[in-house]
Amino acid sequence: MDRHIDLRDARVLVALTAALLAGGLLALVSCAQQGSGTHVSAASDAAQVTAKEEAAVPTSTEGGAGDAGASAGEGGLEPGGNGADAAGGTSEPGTSPEAEARTESEPDLDPGHKSASIEPAGLSAGDELSTQDVERAGGASSFFYAEPISDEVFARMEGKSFGADCTVPREELRYLRLLHVDAEGRTMVGELVVHRNVADEVLDIFSQLYQAGYPIRKMRLVDDYDADDNASCADDNTSSFNYRVIAGTSTISNHAYGLAIDINPFENPYCVWSMGVVSPEGSSRFVERSLHEPYMIHADDLCYQLFISHGWSWGGAWAGDVTDYQHFEKPDALWQ
Ligand SMILES: [Zn+2]
């Protein structure tokens, strides 16, 4: 390109240089004017001004933020804003976000917000809880407690698990609230009715099972199944108290005293070998105890260890004609 420029074009070069210098000057003037916030229309070259205004858009945006800050400063004169003004001054852009953060945090102090906290007693068995829910309720221990049979609970039991022929005083029973985790890792509210003499240790056992993530499918009162043990077991429901006789006999079951608990009954069936009985219906494949599937109880697992260490015995270890893999009991506790 340089080869095509000769001395005759020297004036052109000078003119071009002058024009460039003028352009630079214009830009400088323009910057100064932008900084002062005055309008730049006074510049002689309209094209330069237009280009500068376009280039100045981001700067204008910053200026806008400054304006917003000023507005916030003005807003700071509103009730409640004086403190922010005194602390940060009206010219500090940082004042604005702080003021906004304060405004956003204010609803947390609203009593209405607290009403959203979790109240364990207000939940029902089967309700699912997130980790945050458990924390908001004060931690897992808030969900593990025993109480006398309330009128509300008794209304569920009367005529069902607590039939007209029940010889166990209502005062000897306790209603337990607890948490359990299913095989999918979901935390759920559970409930049991047991004898008062084992209430604390049963809470301790299930608290440890929960902490360890030992899976339990469901824990609802058998009354939700009209005290029909077969229906409860077929639904894989873990339960304890039910005033009834041992299946196929006239002997009062330890469940009738709240001193026996059936856990995950579908995967841990009740078997009468001589009669080929495997209950509940459809659970016969779990007679094969070498399987290691969720909800199955094994002699070396945590569920077994905890009950045994608390003096309970396991029906899965019965070597006679009846083996009851779901069943733990502690009849001696009646005399404690
Ligand atoms: Zn049982």
Structure tokens at 198: 């084992």
What is the average pLDDT score of the chain? 77
Cα 325 to middle of ligand 1, angstroms? 9
Cα 186 to middle of ligand 1, angstroms? 25
Cα 201 to middle of ligand 1, angstroms? 18
CA distance 140 to 135: 7
Query: Near ion ligand 1, which residues have CB within 5 Å?
Result: 260, 262, 327
pLDDT at 248: 81
Structure tokens at 8: 């005759």
For the segment 55-99, what is each residue's pLDDT rounded down to a tens digit? 433 333 333 333 333 333 333 333 333 333 333 333 344 344 444
pLDDT at 249: 86
Query: Would you call the peptide bond into 280 cis, given omega within 30 degrees of 0 as the criterion?
Result: yes
pLDDT at 119: 87
Per the CB < 8 A criterion, the answer to whether 289 and 325 are in contact is yes
pLDDT for 166 beyond 50: yes
Per the CB < 8 A criterion, the answer to whether 313 and 260 are in contact is no
- Lowest mean per-residue pLDDT among 26-30, 123-127, 299-303, 310-314: 26-30
Cα 208 to middle of ligand 1, angstroms? 21
pLDDT at 12: 43
pLDDT at 116: 63
Cα 194 to middle of ligand 1, angstroms? 13
DSSP 94: T
Cα 187 to middle of ligand 1, angstroms? 24
Place 33 in a pLDDT band, splitting at 50, 70 and 90.
very low
Place 45 in a pLDDT band, splitting at 50, 70 and 90.
very low
Q: Is the pTM of this model over 0.75?
A: no
- Lowest mean per-residue pLDDT among 36-40, 118-122, 207-211, 304-308: 36-40
Cα 226 to middle of ligand 1, angstroms? 17
The C-alpha R_g of the chain, in whole angstroms, comes to 39
For the segment 199-258, what is each residue's pLDDT rounded down to a tens digit? 999 999 999 999 999 999 999 999 999 999 999 999 999 999 999 988 788 899 999 999
- Lowest mean per-residue pLDDT among 64-68, 106-110, 244-248, 304-308: 64-68
Helices (H), 78-182: 82-88, 95-105, 111-114, 131-136, 151-157
Cα 128 to middle of ligand 1, angstroms? 26
For the segment 242-294, what is each residue's pLDDT rounded down to a tens digit? 999 887 888 999 999 999 999 999 999 999 999 999 999 999 999 999 999 99
Cα 114 to middle of ligand 1, angstroms? 42
Per the CB < 8 A criterion, the answer to whether 176 and 203 are in contact is yes
Tell which residue, 321, 325, 319, 324, has the closest CA to residue 291.
Answer: 325
Which residues share a beta bridge with 145?
177
Q: Which residue has the tokens 């579908």?
A: 266
DSSP string, 104-134: HHGGGG-HHHHTTS--GGG--TT-EE-HHHH
pLDDT at 82: 36
pLDDT at 71: 36
Which three-class secondary structure state does DSSP give residue 252?
Answer: strand
Enumerate residues 6+ apart whose C-beta is below 8 A from 259.
194, 195, 197, 198, 329, 330, 331, 333, 334
For the segment 137-154, what is each residue's pLDDT rounded down to a tens digit? 999 999 999 999 999 999
